[in-house]
Amino acid sequence: MKVLVIPDVHLKPYLFTQASSILESGAADQAVCLMDIPDDWGQEYHIERYVETYDAAIAFAKKYPDTLWAYGNHDLCYMWNERESGYSVAAAWTVREKLMELRRALPEGNEIRYIQKIDQVLFCHGGIRDEFVKGTVEAEKYDDVDEVVRTINEFHHDLMWNDISPIWYRPQYSSWKMYGEDQALQVVGHTPVEAIYRRGSVISCDVFSTYRDGSPIGSREFPIIDTKTWEFQGVKY
């Protein structure tokens, strides 16, 4: 299957319009969104931008109900009342209400999760470090990727709000072992990169983020992942 990945959104509603056009072209079969839908430089009081972006996400979810969604730290900080860089006190109520609306728009059985899995490809916001799995999942489940994913997806704040959890970890900056390196590919966002690239068993693709002045950091391409061959390409709208 060819999967179109929508990387970190950060108040860019046009990403959903562009992703829709790519899907309609037949270039991919399904989409996965790595979320971080709210927050961007200097947008804390632009509530209309939050509403516009969430409405675009909700419309996309209704048009493509098989789209999978993976929580980012900027989504969860509003659910868990955690203050972090970019958190907007002014937009907090709006974000929580719109996130609930997005969750209601998804079909039963297609909940927003920390980790989404298609074939042997794992999609999550930050990255699944091997040490995190060994420290939180029963040893007898370790070799069963499906069980590991299912178990982690049931975790809550206390196990997830830390630097090595799948919503926060940054494999781009370290060489720690990733979970399932010999049997699974991970596709992650969270850390801005200049181009989509693979290192080991991880594809990094947060290429739509910007510097503080609004200039682009990355190539602004959508990754398309072949979940059978693990080949990937970047597609510009």
- Report the distance separating Cα 180 and Cα 165, nearest Å: 15
pLDDT on residue 28: 98
Q: What is the pLDDT of residues 50-60, one digit of tens each?
A: 999 999 999 99
- Largest Cα span, the chain: 49
pLDDT on residue 85: 87
* 2-235 CATH: 3.60.21.10
Nearest to 82, CA basis, from 47, 39, 124: 39
**Mean pLDDT value across residues 119-131:** 98
Cβ neighbours of residue 19 under 8 Å, at least 6 residues apart?
A: 4, 6, 31, 60, 222
Q: What is the pLDDT of residues 8-24, one digit of tens each?
A: 999 999 999 999 999 99
Enter the pTM of the model.
0.97
**In the chain, where the domains are located:** 2-235
